[in-house]
Amino acid sequence: IVSEYDIILVQEVRDTDLSAVQKLMDQLNSVSPHPYSFLVSKPLGQSTYKEQYLFIYRLDMVSVLESYYYDNSGAVFSREPFIAKVSSPYTQVEEFVLVPLHANPNNAVAEIDALYDVYTDVISQWATSDVLFLGDFNAACSYVPSSAWSAIRLRALEACEWLIPDSADTTVTLTNCAYDRIVACGSALTSAVEPSSATVNNFQEIFQLQYKDALAVSDHFPVEVTLKAR
C-alpha cells in the first residue's frame, strides 16, 4: 500500500525509538525500485498517551523543505499539527504545505474548526496559501453531525475544497463514516488537483481480504489524491 504513493501520511505511530519505523522503511526500500525516506514528529499529546505523525516520501519525487509544530499553547489540539513544506519538480504546483491532523473524536468539531487558525498561521509563516490538510479528522457520524458543519470555518472558506465527501466510508469496520479527509486550499493547489482523483483506497476489496485480515492492516482505509503533472 505504501509503495503506491509518492508521499503518504501515517498516523497513530507510537515508536519513540523509531525501531518500527526503521523496520518499515527497510522493508519498503527492499521491495520498491524507488528510494523512500521519512519525516517524523516528536511524540505529541496532552497526556501520557502520545502519538507521532509520520510522512514517508519518494526521494526522487518529493523534497521536504521545512517543518514546524503549530503553537498549541491554547491546547486546542490533542496532537498539534506537524507542518511540512514540500516541493516536487514533477507537479504543476511546485511547492505546497502538508498539515496533518489526528483529531480527538470527543473534540473533533473544535479541532477541525481550529484548522482555520493553522491555515492563517501557515500563510503568515511561509507566505503561501497552498495547503493540503489531511488525516483522521473523525469528521463524521456522531463526532461531527451534519448540524455542526456550519460552525467549522475551514468548511466555509472559498479558498478550500473538501476532496473526500461526507458520503465516503473511510472505515474498515462496519460503520459507514467519512472520518478521514483531504482538504486542498489555495488557488495553485486546488487547480493542480487531478479531477475526480480523490478517493478512498479500499485495500480490502483490491486485495480481496477477509474482514479480520483487513483489520490487521488498519481499521481505516487510506484516502488519496493525485496532483497534475507539469
> What residue spans define the domains of the chain?
61-224
Phi, psi of 11 (to 5 degrees): -115, 170
CA 202 to chain centre: 16
Provide, rounded to the nearest whole percent, the portion of the chain with pLDDT above 90. Answer: 99
Question: In the chain, what is the greatest distance between 2 CA atoms, to the nearest angstrom?
Answer: 48
pLDDT, tens digit, 9 for 90 and up, residues 6-48: 999 999 999 999 999 999 999 999 999 999 999 999 999 999 9
Q: Which residues pair with 54 in a beta bridge?
A: 10, 40
pTM: 0.96
| Chain length of the chain | 230
CA 216 to chain centre: 21
pLDDT value of position 163: 98
Average pLDDT along the chain: 97
Q: Looking at the annotation, which residues are catalytic? A: 51, 102
Tell me if the domain spanning 61-224 has CATH number 3.60.10.10.
yes
DSSP assignment of 131-197 equals EEEEEE---STTTS-GGGGGG-HHHH-TTEEE-S-TT---BSSS-----EEEEEESHHHHHTBPTT-
pLDDT, tens digit, 9 for 90 and up, residues 152-202: 999 999 999 999 999 999 999 999 999 999 999 999 999 999 999 999 999
